[in-house]
Amino acid sequence: MKKKKSIVVPLGVGIVVFLALAVVGAWFYLQWQQGDEETETQSLTVIQLNTEEIRKVTYTDFQSTVTLRKKKGKWYRAKNLDFPLDQFQTENMVKAFSQITATSMIADPDSLPSYGLMNPMYMITLRDKHKNDTVVKIGNMAGASDYYLTADEGKTIYTVSSHLLGFLVFNEKDLLQGDLFPTISGATLKSITITRNGKNIDVCPNESKDDAEKLATYGSELSTIRLDDCVNYNVEKKQLKAYGLNKKSRKEVTAVYEDAQVGVKRTHVFYMGKPFQEEGVEYVYMQMVGSKMIYKVYLSGVQKLVGR
């Protein structure tokens, strides 16, 4: 009688097979877990509106209220259409408000006052092109970093991340889309011309032995300029004199520099107005050519440009 042949699997091969099966099993487990997490996240969607259809957003902390309207694809501040609203920031804000997901849902909620939703901290109203309103109320803190929220007058109560509150911008200056000042330094500045009322005050280089040093100083000052403090976003011609920015008073600065990102020469023109003091700090008014916005910048950083 013939003996049956037994198959002997080497120990090393057995371990490899076992590890392979373990890896495959772990992969399927992770896929299952991820799928389960996606389902959970989807089930906690509070609002899912079409951002493109939103036409009006109003939000309030019951001390200040901001209302924004969308017309012909552009957002404006209501009753102040001249305000240069930051379109990128506004679009991000509208998207955040119209697509809210929650951290958790309260299964058996108490009455609204328990969550600060009877008199909420914030209220956001989204109106679509069909004039349908969605009202979001945000109440007390829920734990260390979340807040209670309802979008259906308290029928359902969620907790949401405090990240959402970062889009509630009440400071007018934070909503402003200002002018851009290019990146210029002593290394990239090629020439500078300063005039007043059509007459040259300084031209550099001008075949002078100290041209290189002077140009480097001008470039260093230009590198300090930040247009982050607008004092008038829609100046009228008759107001320019008060800032020292009327045609006879202002200094016109023409800077030719190399755009380091693309290696191309560019020209930037702006106006310097009069110096002034505010709460013991010295500033000077500035305006970009073609802009209606007036800024104040620290005088200490632009002494040579001012002529001190």
The predicted structure's pLDDT at residue 108: 87
Is the pLDDT at 230 greater than 90? The verdict is yes
Mean pLDDT of all residues in 9-35: 43
Q: pLDDT tens for residues 26-74?
A: 444 445 444 433 333 345 899 999 999 999 999 999 999 999 999 999 9
Confidence category of residue 8, pLDDT binned at 50, 70, 90? very low
Phi, psi of 34 (to 5 degrees): -65, -40
Confidence category of residue 134, pLDDT binned at 50, 70, 90? very high
The predicted structure's pLDDT at residue 23: 41
Confidence category of residue 121, pLDDT binned at 50, 70, 90? very high
Are 56 and 127 within 8 A, CB to CB? yes
> Measuring CA to CA, which residue among 286, 290, 289 is closest to residue 305?
286
Q: pLDDT tens for residues 82-104?
A: 999 999 999 999 999 999 999 99
The predicted structure's pLDDT at residue 226: 95
On the 0-12 / 13-18 / 19+ scale of CB atoms within 10 A, 61 is middle
Q: Which residues neighbour 189 within 8 Å (Cβ) at sequence distance 6 or greater?
A: 215, 216, 218, 219, 222, 255, 256, 257
The predicted structure's pLDDT at residue 29: 46
3-state SS string for the chain? CCCCCCCCCCHHHHHHHHHHHHHHHHHHHHHHHHHHHHHHHHHCEEEECCHHHEEEEEEECCCCEEEEEEECCEEEECCECCCCECHHHHHHHHHHHHEEECCEECCCCCCHHHHCCCCCCEEEEEEECCCCEEEEEEEEEECCCEEEEECCCCCCCEEEEHHHHHHCCCCHHHHECCCCCCCCCCCCEEEEEEEECCEEEEEECCCCCCHHHHHHHHHHHHCCCCCCCEEECCCCHHHHHHHCCCCCCCEEEEEEEEECCCCEEEEEEEEEEEEEEECCEEEEEEEECCCCCEEEEEHHHCHHHHCC
The predicted structure's pLDDT at residue 31: 52
Beta-carbon neighbour count of residue 257 at 10 Å? 22
Is the pLDDT at 267 greater than 60? The verdict is yes
Mean pLDDT of all residues in 141-151: 94
Q: pLDDT tens for residues 174-192?
A: 899 999 999 999 999 999 9
Are 128 and 54 within 8 A, CB to CB? yes
Q: Which residue has the higher pLDDT, 259 or 24?
A: 259
The predicted structure's pLDDT at residue 207: 78
Is the pLDDT at 213 greater than 50? The verdict is yes
The predicted structure's pLDDT at residue 143: 86
Q: pLDDT tens for residues 99-108?
A: 999 999 998 8
Is the pLDDT at 127 greater than 70? The verdict is yes
Is the pLDDT at 7 greater than 70? The verdict is no
Length of the chain: 308
The residue to which tokens 């979340």 are assigned: 146
Is the pLDDT at 1 greater than 80? The verdict is no
Question: What's the distance, Cα to Cα, between the start and end of the chain in Å?
Answer: 115
* Assigned token pair, 164: 């959402």
* Assigned token pair, 154: 């308290």
The predicted structure's pLDDT at residue 259: 93
On the 0-12 / 13-18 / 19+ scale of CB atoms within 10 A, 279 is exposed
% of the chain surpassing 70 pLDDT = 86
